[in-house]
Amino acid sequence: MDDIEYKIIKPDSSLSDFVESFWMIVNHSEESKEIVVLPNATIDISLSRSLSEPFHIMLMGLENEAGQTSLNPKMVIFAISFKLLAIEYLLKTSIADLVNEGRPLLPDFWGFSQDDLNDFDSFHFKASNKIKELIKGKIDERKRKLFELIYSSNGALTVKELSEKVYWSSRQINRYFNQQFGISLKLYCNLLRFSASFNQLNDGRLFPEQNYTDQAHFIREIKKFSGVAPGELSKNKNDRFIQLAALKKQ
């Protein structure tokens, strides 16, 4: 898809507890482009417009399955991908009802407007400053440590191991996850481990590198979350798996 432009910017260290990345996708053509969006264990706030759709802002919840969609003609999307702590400490909401769903936000959310879609670097600067303004108060130490362990291990630690390391019962952690995010801790760790495999799949490495039990487990989990076997995902025919296509452009 030569008409599709991608860009990804990682946050600076002051935002790394809350933000996974800032990203952009632009369809420069006057034709729709069919894409598949893979679960990647983040929550997104996206600003977008196209020839057929007016400017709007969406909050997207966690995804646990691949979804097919279209990039409309001349579509521009600028977005922030958040880690889970951002839901409680920045957005101060629950996304339990948004698994594989989205929620429209006000068109002036965080002071954004359609003019912010004119320049991605300016959007990244404005969004970063807004998030820094919102980072206030102390994070619950158990939650801070829990997410530090989840992300540093790419979801490889078991629920039992995480529970023991943060001195928080498995039942309480799962209640928190289900009430706040709509999925269990185990499922979230599996999603994170799946998304951590994108780089190796892009490079054609089709054997488990993210603490899967064996090859069969690796294949089963990749198919569960992408809908296809690792080999097909790796080939990414027509660049339809958008996250893998974007990684190759970086």
The per-residue pLDDT for 124 is 98
**Cα dist. 99→16, 51, 188, 245 in Å?**
23, 28, 12, 24
The per-residue pLDDT for 57 is 98
Structure tokens at 198: 């994108």
Higher pLDDT, 184 or 245: 184
Q: Phi/psi zone of residue 207: left (φ > 0), alpha (ψ -120 to 50 degrees), beta?
A: beta
Judged against a pLDDT cut of 80, whether residue 142 lies above it is answered with yes
Residue ranges, CATH 1.10.10.60, the chain = 141-249
Neighbouring residues of 8: CB distance < 8 A, sequence distance ≥ 6: 21, 22, 23, 24, 246, 250
The per-residue pLDDT for 1 is 64
**What residue has token string 């399955």?**
65
Residue ranges, CATH 2.60.40, the chain = 4-134
CB atoms within 10 A of CB 53: 10
Least confident of 30-34, 81-85, 179-183, 244-248: 244-248
Residue pLDDT, tens place only, 5-37: 999 999 999 999 999 999 999 999 999 999 999
**What residue has token string 């069919």?**
34
> CB pairs under 8 A, 24+ apart, for 151-158?
151/83, 151/192, 153/211, 154/192, 154/193, 154/196, 154/210, 154/211, 155/41, 155/188, 155/189, 155/190, 155/191, 155/192, 155/193, 155/196, 155/210, 156/189, 156/193, 156/210, 156/211, 157/189
| Strand ranges for the chain from DSSP E | 4-9, 19-27, 33-37, 43-49, 56-60, 67-71, 76-82, 102-105
Amino acid found at 150: I
Residue pLDDT, tens place only, 56-73: 999 999 999 999 999 999
Tell me the CATH number for domain 4-134.
2.60.40
Distance CA 91, CA 79 (A): 15
Q: What is the mean pLDDT of the chain?
A: 94
Residue pLDDT, tens place only, 214-233: 899 999 999 999 999 999 99
Least confident of 83-87, 119-123, 175-179, 244-248: 244-248
pTM for the structure as a whole: 0.94
Confidence of residue 47 (pLDDT cuts 50, 70, 90): very high
Domain 141-249 of CATH type 1.10.10.60: yes
Judged against a pLDDT cut of 70, whether residue 188 lies above it is answered with yes
Q: What percent of the chain has pLDDT over 90?
A: 85
The per-residue pLDDT for 11 is 97
The per-residue pLDDT for 250 is 67
- The DSSP result for 13-47, as a single string, is GGGTTTEEEEEEEEE-SSS-EEEEEPP-S-EEEEE
